[in-house]
Structure 1
Amino acid sequence: MSASPSKASDSFSLLDERIQRWIWQSGWSELKDAQEQAIPAILAGDTDVVIAAATASGKTEAAFLPILTRLLSTEASSCVMYISPLKALINDQWWRLEGLCESLEIPVTPWHGDIAGTKKRNFKKSPTGCLLITPESLEALLMANGHALQGLFGGLRYLVVDELHAFIGTERGKQLQSLMHRIDRALKRFTPRIALSATLGDMDKAAAFLRPNAAVPATVIKSNDAGQALKVLVKGFIDYPLALADPEAWVGDDADFEKSLSQGTRAISEHLFKTLRGSNNLVFPNSRGNVEKYAALLRGYCEDLGLPNEFWPHHGSLAKDVREETEAALKAKGRPATAVCTTTLEMGIDIGSVKSIAQIGCAPSVASLRQRLGRSGRRGEAAILRCYALEAALAPHSPLSDVLRENLVQSTAQVRLSLRSWYEPPNIGGLHLSTLIQQLLALIAQYGGINAADAWAVLCGSGVFLGVPKQDFILLLRELAKKDILIQTPTGLLLHGRVGEQLVNHYSFYAAFAAEEEFRLVHGGKTLGALPLSQPVEKGTHLIFAGKRWQVLSLDIEKKVIAVMPALGGKLPKFDGGNLPVDDGVREEMRQILSETLPIPFLDSTANQLLQEARATFQSMGLDSLPLLAQTHCVQLFPWRGDRVMNTLALMLKQAGFQAENTGLSIIIKTDNPEKVFEALHGLAVSPPPDPTALVAEVMNKRLEKWDALLPAELLAKNYSSHTLDVAGAHEFIKRLAARRHSPR
């Protein structure tokens, strides 16, 4: 039986007859490319499989059609475990699989905090079929069933990880790696792992993340299906100053919302309203505060015209019923709805057909932009992307990054890279020692105690926490013992201490991550507001908040308070927590865009005009040939590298005795003698790469993750530097710069 009128499908013939019948009854004329490639590889069951394909390209079926065929061919009770980053995605897949699995008499069991206990008990009595679960619920399951896991998962045939990109480089990702290894260890065998994702920048690194110890080979499948048609427009806007005379007036509960809006924000909201009315769309303004601001503006326009509301907010801080109200509005037929949202609607939750995506400001990453775009243009229609670049109105002393139109150029770079199917390579090098603590405590709970050598073998020797040598593990154990997190019996068994028992017995323990912590900004005893910190902070660091520039006087990690004073100066870093670290590839593309001369077709007239002005500045200042620019009392260094390299360069220059600050696009070095900067860079070039832990010694906000407060100072520095620095990349840049033997202009 052919899967296509013109081409026989070898993969189709490998499926169980009942599944073949379901495919034809569903009206499929052929299998998609990812399915054709995945079916034989998954049925063989002797490798891990990584499937990368666009949203709505049939990845779920590519995994489950062969898996269900395998379950049907197995006489003994067997099951598959599907692990998802979102409960809502589990609910969607439950609905999606039930239609097929019901006809096959294969049970489907969703398992998360909102699922009734009856369903969970039924699965434990008869652990067969499809188990759909989150990492947190799987953690609880392993800890509660310890030595009984062989009986519970003896029939496990596959582990499926959905939205793999959402796990890579995160605390949950490291937890997931450990959970999968703990299952293999309990079963005393390897279970094939199947990973699904729409955006993977480096397939080999993705496979290495899926199984860190490479004990099982991986089959990598990248769909060859033609990409969807795409319509892109980048619109430029000038962000003229606030209407209020006092820019501080909007900070506080009694602020006049209408008067606090800049002209650029209002212009974007008006264009959104005019363009999106009457259809279903998603708007991504990057932060919860901006979600609320734009949702309120758009809703207000509906009310002013006496129209039913079409605009709904959606972010993680909203109550579940409020989020579900937005999702229901998007799914409802016959009434248009647009969600103004954060990353909560970026992944594959079923929200029905969406006509277009609006991105306000730069996306968190190229991969994130592509993931969002995949929500649009389904069912054969072109995907539509509108990007809104809000640029500052220039003044005589505007910072160079404003003159170079950093936000517009970065948005343009992200679009161009996405069109070339380039995505950031996965960052799999972070130590995630916070998650190591959580997994150590979970392992003790699972087995009722474990000796130190076995704990190191399971967690570190296995490759999950590969960067942790035995001496660091021993140092960690001693620190946890000091804090009464652990105790060790005379026989060498590790057990929970008094404080450890309290931590493990709290409902929040199962999550390896904590909600993003915000720091309260205080000036002269007055609270200005709160914000998360996403870059290294030391005494003297500058930041922008409430439209004003501030300098850090002190930071209290325990109380989450930053004391600041007003500051003057040029462009300074924003600490808004909205974006992921910018990758080297994005900044290199930004430099390329500024080096060109032709207009870019997908930019509107305003955006192209702003870009041409930025290009003229770029050429006139010689930034196309030399990355060092001397100015009054400072030198600006333009490496065109990602945030990790930029962080490292700034800290290296500080260690060399300069006042240096990473502003994102450039590093500002305070000096009246530019030659000294070049001499210092030459000295750094001929010296060995610095110790990353020494570079971050003065950084005050080294606690990034949930359990970092329990780490000894030495390991905290190692952990922080592994996530935020790229010493090798920074050292290589300095060597290349010094080799040119030029002085700053």
Structure 2
Amino acid sequence: MTDTSSSFFLLDERIQRFIWAEGWESLRDAQEAAIPLVLQAEHDVIVAAATASGKTEAAFLPALTHLLQADRGGLIVYVSPLKALINDQFGRLERLCERLEIPVWPWHGDISSSRKARFLTKPEGVLLITPESLEAMFCNRGTAVAAIFAHLHYVVIDELHALIGEERGKQVQSLLHRIEVAIRRRVPRIGLSATLGDMGLAAEYLRPGEGTQVAIVHSEDTETELRILVKGYENLVETRLMPEDKVYSEEPEESEDDELSAPRLISLHLFNVLRGSNNLIFPNSRREVERYTHLLAEQSTRLRVPNEFYPHHGSLSKEIREETEMALKQNEHPATAICTNTLELGIDIGAVKSIVQIGTSPSVASLRQRLGRSGRRRGEPAILRAYCIEEALSSRPTIESALRLGTVKMAAMISLLLEGWFEPPRTAGAHFSTLVQQILSAIAQYGGLAVGQLYNLLSSEKAPFPAVSKNDFVALVRAMGKEELLMQDSSGVLLHGQLGEKFVNHYTFYAAFPDEEEYRIVTGGKALGTLPVDQMLIDGQRILFAGKTWLIEEIDEEKKTIYVKRASANQPPLFKGEGGRTHTQVRQRMRELLASGERLVFLDKEAHRFLDEGRENYARHQMAMKTLHNEGRSVRLFTWLGDAGNEALACLLTNRGFQALHGELGVEVRKENDMTAEDIANALYDVALDGPLEAEELLKGAKNLAREKWDWVLPENLLARGYASNYLDLNEAMNWLRQMTTAEVLSF
């Protein structure tokens, strides 16, 4: 350790000796900057730095020093969204803290009750806990909360980006606020993340209402070389997706044509380039994880070599997932995981040589997070191998096929990644669902509260739900009463109702997010499989499933079933069910790439052929000047907005009696009866002049709005407002309409 490090000498001598013993040559930039800020215990701090840049140590080295300097024992609480990450951090911290004689306590569902009891007898040291276990502590040990956290010095929140704007993140905000209310003082918060697009939003999340006072440590200290290659494959045969309920060890039926399918050709290339090293492969669904795991294992069997390819997704058993994680961690044999976002966050899986992305990632932020797994060893590059699949063009291709949107979108995301841009978190959500949970939790903690006390605790100016008015809060409490979640005694105190007590006493209550649930797809009485749905669907909309386009006939929300029939071959799907909502910046970059002639060095010959074909068709169809396109039975609005803007625009038109469906390029409006294209253009002008509607009016009669765990409790107006706050961008839709009408370009 060089003498130029001023932060090193601020640390406790025992920690300094540990650093020397570990052979550290110097502190990282993030550590140098964060140590003096955290050590004071006077600031909330965000440490934003690349994966494997020492963020955890940037928080804990000074926090532990502060604990050692305290007059009596204290407590540091580390909140992580993943049990596996807690287990990893326990292993890292225990070696250091054992020397410091500071106990480290992992606390989640897999930890024994006797170990938890030992912590509770003397709640000091470092507590590593999930949001769900923290929630359980409030519900089951409410009267002891003040004593448990009486000597709390810091709260460290890991993977901050995974919480901002999410229901789980709002739950964490609420629990931290309730801790401070219980102990009657403010506790410094330290947020850690490798993927924060907007530091201001992150700071406001960490300390609501006081984000400007949060200290920011943003380290760009990385010398990692980045290598990217995008390979294109044209699908010449119709491929079948594996059924969703197949486990990874079962083999799907195959035909001779499957030998020529793009997925099989991709798997052969992956087999050749990945064997002998550790890698992560990210397809876009559990179904695709199963497909590629099967294809790669099958190739190993054919060549009679040891299989190095393992699956990892949320539907697999804990044992199978742990087998994959252990295969990646051990150094004796190479291993590659085919996974969903279950391996996207910071679980310690050792060094990974490369990241593989099959199809577009859910977002640029997700792609950045995944790429951070590679290139973590000194001197090794971070490697991204991406694969895009396009269907062979027919004699009369749809505009989506002709533009080669999959390849263009992947190229747009990578170009934005190289510029350092990624999506800012959604922070406008109303989070009514989590408010329902927190009302029930707070009543469990205190044994009952008056409605005014609940409002002050959860929805006053500096509480976690300040945007909820008193009228809305009272309406929500009444709705909870109607559903028997709450009851009121003769003195006016709110208690759990019969159903509320049943929910709170079950372990599933502690999670703010719902179990992963998908809609069944059924045609002619036959189930085709299941599909995740993250946007509003309506009867008559077209969806892509199992490589085919289907027309929605009916949506049964109670049974979570979508009834469909085959759509015409020349009708493109507007919803592809791949997960992730596309940001406007990505679509605008797609448009820029289609309009330019720039050669992209990260595309191989075939991928660049797709891009060139897209550019040729973009020019041929005069897409640069075209906003509205009359297609006979419908009118297409090419907006190039993100999903939130397109869905809002579709809702505005639906509210006026049109059948409007949003998709990749914009919005499609169906012509009904004697309707003309001019009628639709005139309606757009009227919407622009009249302005936006309130959410409850805009979404009146809409189906499948309930997305979050407790949305079923909400009255219709709050359900509509909650959905709009999370999924619609009315301002963006209205701005687009006003720009188009002002420029008078809404013509054919």
How would you bin the TM-score normalised by the shorter chain? over 0.9
Question: In the alignment, which residue of structure 2 is the partner of 1:571?
Answer: 572
Q: Given the alignment of the two structures, is residue 694 of structure 1 paired with residue 692 of structure 2, yes or no?
A: no
Q: Is the 8 A contact 1:47 1:216 kept in 2?
A: no
Q: What is the identity, as a one-letter code, of the residue corresponding to 2:105?
A: T
Q: Given the alignment of the two structures, is residue 445 of structure 1 paired with residue 448 of structure 2, yes or no?
A: no
Q: Is the 8 A contact 1:213 1:464 kept in 2?
A: no
Q: What SS is found at the alignment partner of 1:10?
A: coil
State how 1:506-655 maps to structure 2 within 5 Å.
506-568=506-568, 569-576=570-577, 578-655=578-655
> Which structure 2 residue ranges, 5 or more long, are not aligned?
none
- C-alpha offsets along residues 536-562 of structure 1, whole Å, 9 cap, x if unaligned? 112222212222222222222112222
Question: In the alignment, which residue of structure 2 is the partner of 1:679?
Answer: 682
Question: In the alignment, which residue of structure 1 is the partner of 2:710?
Answer: 707
State how 1:105-504 maps to structure 2 within 5 Å.
105-214=101-210, 217-242=213-238, 256-257=253-254, 261=258, 263-380=261-378, 381-461=380-460, 462-504=462-504
- 1:251, CA displacement in angstroms? 9.5
- C-alpha offsets along residues 556-588 of structure 1, whole Å, 9 cap, x if unaligned? 211222222222252213352x42211111111
| CA distance in structure 2 between the partners assigned to 1:523 and 1:404 by the alignment | 30
Distance 1:454 1:522, change over 3 A: same
| CA distance in structure 1 between the partners assigned to 2:466 and 2:234 by the alignment | 48
More displaced 10-residue stretch of structure 1: 493-502 or 215-224: 215-224
Q: Is the 8 A contact 2:740 2:746 kept in 1?
A: no
Q: What is the identity, as a one-letter code, of the residue corresponding to 1:84?
A: S
Q: Is the 8 A contact 1:250 1:257 kept in 2?
A: no
Distance 1:589 1:476, change over 3 A: same
| CA distance in structure 1 between the partners assigned to 2:223 and 2:653 by the alignment | 45
Q: Is the 8 A contact 2:138 2:444 kept in 1?
A: no
Q: What SS is found at the alignment partner of 2:141?
A: helix
Q: What SS is found at the alignment partner of 1:530?
A: strand
Q: What is the identity, as a one-letter code, of the residue corresponding to 2:456?
A: A
Q: Is the 8 A contact 1:298 1:311 kept in 2?
A: yes
Distance 1:316 1:255, change over 3 A: closer
- C-alpha offsets along residues 286-308 of structure 1, whole Å, 9 cap, x if unaligned? 21111011001100000011111
- 1:35, CA displacement in angstroms? 0.7
More displaced 10-residue stretch of structure 1: 520-529 or 138-147: 520-529
Distance 1:471 1:596, change over 3 A: same
> Which structure 1 residue ranges, 5 or more long, are not aligned?
none
Q: Is the 8 A contact 1:692 1:725 kept in 2?
A: no
- 1:353, CA displacement in angstroms? 1.1
Question: In the alignment, which residue of structure 2 is the partner of 1:25?
Answer: 21
- 1:240, CA displacement in angstroms? 2.2
Question: In the alignment, which residue of structure 2 is the partner of 1:728?
Answer: 731
Q: Is the 8 A contact 1:286 1:342 kept in 2?
A: yes
More displaced 10-residue stretch of structure 1: 452-461 or 250-259: 250-259
| CA distance in structure 2 between the partners assigned to 1:647 and 1:314 by the alignment | 33
- C-alpha offsets along residues 88-128 of structure 1, whole Å, 9 cap, x if unaligned? 00000000011111111111110011112222111111111
Q: What is the identity, as a one-letter code, of the residue corresponding to 1:446?
A: Q
| CA distance in structure 2 between the partners assigned to 1:567 and 1:303 by the alignment | 39
| CA distance in structure 2 between the partners assigned to 1:203 and 1:103 by the alignment | 35
Q: What is the identity, as a one-letter code, of the residue corresponding to 1:534?
A: D
Question: In the alignment, which residue of structure 2 is the partner of 1:65?
Answer: 61
- 1:357, CA displacement in angstroms? 0.4
Q: What SS is found at the alignment partner of 2:611?
A: helix
The alignment of Structure 1 onto Structure 2 pairs a total of residues equal to: 737
| CA distance in structure 2 between the partners assigned to 1:535 and 1:701 by the alignment | 8
- 1:216, CA displacement in angstroms? 8.4
- C-alpha offsets along residues 607-658 of structure 1, whole Å, 9 cap, x if unaligned? 1111011011112222223433333333222211111001011111222333
| CA distance in structure 2 between the partners assigned to 1:256 and 1:706 by the alignment | 37
More displaced 10-residue stretch of structure 1: 322-331 or 456-465: 456-465
| CA distance in structure 1 between the partners assigned to 2:237 and 2:18 by the alignment | 60
Distance 1:472 1:378, change over 3 A: same
| CA distance in structure 2 between the partners assigned to 1:159 and 1:233 by the alignment | 41
- 1:699, CA displacement in angstroms? 2.1
Q: Is the 8 A contact 1:531 1:575 kept in 2?
A: no
Q: What is the identity, as a one-letter code, of the residue corresponding to 2:573?
A: L
State how 1:97-108 maps to structure 2 within 5 Å.
97-108=93-104
Q: What is the identity, as a one-letter code, of the residue corresponding to 2:709?
A: K
- C-alpha offsets along residues 425-470 of structure 1, whole Å, 9 cap, x if unaligned? 1111111211111111010001100111111121111341233111
Q: What SS is found at the alignment partner of 2:423?
A: coil
Distance 1:543 1:215, change over 3 A: closer
Distance 1:103 1:388, change over 3 A: same
Q: Is the 8 A contact 1:542 1:551 kept in 2?
A: yes
Q: Given the alignment of the two structures, is residue 668 of structure 1 paired with residue 632 of structure 2, yes or no?
A: no
Q: What is the identity, as a one-letter code, of the residue corresponding to 1:488?
A: Q
- 1:16, CA displacement in angstroms? 1.2
- C-alpha offsets along residues 308-339 of structure 1, whole Å, 9 cap, x if unaligned? 11100001111111111111111122311100
| CA distance in structure 2 between the partners assigned to 1:260 and 1:701 by the alignment | 38
Distance 1:737 1:396, change over 3 A: same
Distance 1:167 1:355, change over 3 A: same
Distance 1:225 1:664, change over 3 A: same
Q: Is the 8 A contact 1:450 1:494 kept in 2?
A: yes
More displaced 10-residue stretch of structure 1: 10-19 or 375-384: 10-19
Superposition TM-score, scaled by structure 2 size: 0.95
Q: Is the 8 A contact 1:284 1:341 kept in 2?
A: yes
Q: Is the 8 A contact 1:681 1:734 kept in 2?
A: yes
Q: What is the identity, as a one-letter code, of the residue corresponding to 1:467?
A: A
Q: Is the 8 A contact 1:51 1:222 kept in 2?
A: yes
- 1:668, CA displacement in angstroms? 1.7
Q: Is the 8 A contact 2:293 2:311 kept in 1?
A: yes
Question: In the alignment, which residue of structure 2 is the partner of 1:737?
Answer: 740
| CA distance in structure 1 between the partners assigned to 2:451 and 2:500 by the alignment | 16
Q: Is the 8 A contact 1:545 1:574 kept in 2?
A: no
Q: How large is the RMSD of aligned CA atoms in angstroms?
A: 1.9
| CA distance in structure 2 between the partners assigned to 1:156 and 1:250 by the alignment | 49
Q: Is the 8 A contact 2:696 2:716 kept in 1?
A: no
- C-alpha offsets along residues 673-706 of structure 1, whole Å, 9 cap, x if unaligned? 4333332222222222222222222321011011
Q: Is the 8 A contact 2:542 2:549 kept in 1?
A: yes
- 1:250, CA displacement in angstroms? 7.5
